[in-house]
Amino acid sequence: MKRQWSIILAIIFALIIAIFAVINVEAVEVDYLFGKAEWPLILIILGSVFMGGFMIASTGVVRIISLNRKLKALEKENIRLKEEMKTLTEKDQAVQNDHRLQTDQS
């Protein structure tokens, strides 16, 4: 359900941006570090939206990669701890068996 709301909100946001961009079609002057140019405002708006979306998506990808690395490390630690627990359980059973044998011999 949460995913559906995210998609609905993304579509609404895209429609608002598209309407806003279509309304603003006049040419504007853009100053670069190396010069000036005139571009339609619709391209400036859409370019800004796409660059913002790209930056957010790239930070999301970096976070996902980081979380996947952390997950793999924790899974390895979990396996190691399970093996250690199994070893300790076996040693405990061996000690209990030895203790029973000693009490039986007494």
Show pLDDT as tens, one digit a residue, over the chain (106 residues).
Answer: 778 888 898 889 888 888 887 888 888 898 888 889 998 888 888 888 899 989 999 999 999 999 999 999 999 999 999 999 999 999 989 888 888 878 777 6
Cβ atoms of residues 77 and 68 within 8 Å: no
Task: Supply the pTM of this predicted model.
Answer: 0.60
Measuring CA to CA, which residue among 28, 54, 58 is closest to residue 43? 28
Count up the domains in the chain and report the number.
1
Range of the domain at 80: 2-105
